[in-house]
Amino acid sequence: MGTKLWLSVYFPDWPLEMFFQGTAGIRPLVVAQAGGGAARIVACNKAARRSGLHPGMTVSAAQAQVDCLDVRVRDAEKEQRSAANIAAWAMQFTPVISLAVPQGLLLEVSGSLFLFGGLEGMAACIRKGLEDIGYRVLLASAPTPWAAWLIARAGKERLLTDAREVEAHLRRLPLGILDQPAATVDALDAMGIRTLGDCLGLPRDGVARRFGQELLDELDRALGRLPDPRALFEPPVHFEDALEFPAEVWQADALLFAARRLFVLLEGLLKKHQCGVQHCTLTLCHEHHATTPLTIGLASPTRDVQRMLGVLRERLGQTELPAPVQSMQLAARSIVPLEPRNLSLFPDAEQAAESWQIFLERLTTRLGSEAIQGIGCCADHRPERAWRTVAPGAARELPGGASRPLWLLDPPQRIASKEGRPYWQGPLVLRSGSECIESGWWDGAGIARDYFVAEGRAGCRLWVYQDRRNARAWYLHGIFS
């Protein structure tokens, strides 16, 4: 596709959603610019609007009108960080993203539409994903980024691809959506110029002399008459984001519901990097109490939201909170590449492996990491010293290969012998040649043994040895499965 296509993602409730991501509750709540009592409201939740409050009111007037009004100060740094996390999440759809601060993103999607079944399919995926995280969005598309942005900011949802259709739609939009000084918009309104089409009908020289070239340049960028180079977003290497609650929270279900939104954002960043996490930390913040950090430990690196939530559910079930939770913060500072996987025609083995990992994660969370161990190899010929405990899944090699059993007796059991042959619940038949092991003389635990695979009654296979340092006595050291 030679022509570029830009998709605008506009967040109409951005200042509110920065704090609560769709959990703004029923109490009247407003977000205001910093500035004390003279500060003005920039966003209201539904409860505040029902009480007669609206953007543009002063905070002092709102507080006089509504008792117990919850006022939050707009945080530019938090908005920037949240926008970066959303942009990182959106990179699973396209690598070409530009931040449209402070309330949206611009995505160049022409090269990846076929992966999502076309423009409408991609828009549906983006909308559903952002709604799951807790954001309400308006989507619009156009061949130029600024046209898509203006359409969405005007509250219109139009997926347009034809330049002529875009221009016809732009002409009907109000002048107030432009990034122009209020004085310019008011002066044009006084002249009866209220839409972009009205403005485009004016003589260009006269508009430039009276209102400046910036107005014409903005219109030309939207129509594609001027280039509109944009700084592209570079995703962070680590993830960190927070979510506040409009009221104190005790219940685990409410904490899990909110945490899921943070995990979905993390999943988007991991998809972009083709990576996963094995450890991340969810920190619960309380008033007048120390924070409660919850480490999410996984059996293997993953970006599966459900796996992470499953471990978090177990951790919450074991944690006694010192006080209600006011906010939570998710941090993942160590991400690792995921091994590529081939799809199987019969995926039962792969599904069984994933089920085993989920079981192992929950068991480790309930019993503690010290209670769940794996077995790894050591560089020692002595069988009883050729293994060590490791983290589950850290080592998969079997010590000594197939000629050694996994079940060793500690200590080896001395058995009888008759006519120089081992005897255990009956005579044993030696089925292999001897394996001579003589080692450990340097550390005071030396051995000198001849090992055999023996067969007993009912066909059981045993691992026995003759001790050359103890009158060639016979010992049972292991049992094969």
- Read off the pLDDT of residues 191-227 as tens digits, 9 standing for 90 and up: 999 999 999 999 999 999 999 999 999 999 999 999 9
Q: For 323-332, what is each residue's pLDDT tens digit?
A: 999 999 999 9
What does the radius of gyration of the chain's CA atoms come to, in whole angstroms?
Answer: 34
Place 89 in a pLDDT band, splitting at 50, 70 and 90: very high
- Would you state the pLDDT for residue 34? 75
Distance CA 146, CA 454 (A): 81
Kind and range of the H or E run holding 70 = strand 70-73
Q: For 17-40, what is each residue's pLDDT tens digit?
A: 877 665 555 788 888 887 655 788
Place 1 in a pLDDT band, splitting at 50, 70 and 90: very low
CB 301 within 8 A of CB 348: no
- Would you state the pLDDT for residue 102? 72
Place 367 in a pLDDT band, splitting at 50, 70 and 90: confident
Mean pLDDT value of segment 294-299: 87
CB 143 within 8 A of CB 6: yes
Instruction: List the beta strands (DSSP E) in 157-291.
Output: 239-249, 275-285
- Would you state the pLDDT for residue 418? 85
CB 126 within 8 A of CB 10: no
- Would you state the pLDDT for residue 350? 55
Mean pLDDT value of segment 277-300: 91
Distance CA 218, CA 187 (A): 17
Q: For 94-135, what is each residue's pLDDT tens digit?
A: 999 999 877 899 999 999 999 999 999 999 999 999 988 888
- Would you state the pLDDT for residue 348? 58
- Would you state the pLDDT for residue 246? 77
Instruction: List the beta strands (DSSP E) in 74-165.
Output: 97-100, 104-108, 138-142
Reply yes or no on whether the pLDDT at 353 is more than 70.
no
Please spell the DSSP secondary structure of 218-232, one letter per residue. HHHHHHTSS----PP
Residues whose CB falls within 8 Å of the CB of residue 398, separated by 6 or more in sequence, listed in order: 404, 406
Mean pLDDT value of segment 248-265: 90
CB 174 within 8 A of CB 156: no
Share of the chain above pLDDT 90, in %: 48
CB 238 within 8 A of CB 333: yes
Enumerate domains of the chain plus CATH numbers: 6-27+68-223 (3.30.70.270), 239-337 (3.30.1490.100), 400-479 (no CATH)
Reply yes or no on whether the pLDDT at 401 is more than 80.
no
Burial 129-160 (b: 16+ CB within 10 A, else e): bbeebbbebbbbbbbbbbbbbbbbbbebbbbb
Reply yes or no on whether the pLDDT at 46 is more than 90.
no
Beta bridge partners of 374: 390
Q: For 58-86, what is each residue's pLDDT tens digit?
A: 988 998 899 888 888 888 888 888 888 89
Mean pLDDT value of segment 466-471: 88
pTM: 0.71
Reply yes or no on whether the pLDDT at 235 is more than 90.
no
Distance CA 40, CA 30 (A): 10
- Would you state the pLDDT for residue 138? 95
Q: For 128-181, what is each residue's pLDDT tens digit?
A: 999 888 889 999 999 999 999 999 999 999 999 999 999 999 999 999 999 999
Distance CA 97, CA 90 (A): 8
Mean pLDDT value of segment 430-439: 87
- Would you state the pLDDT for residue 352? 54
Mean pLDDT value of segment 392-401: 56
**What is the token pair recorded at 129?**
């994903």
- Would you state the pLDDT for residue 385? 86
**What is the token pair recorded at 279?**
């450890």
Mean pLDDT value of segment 452-458: 88
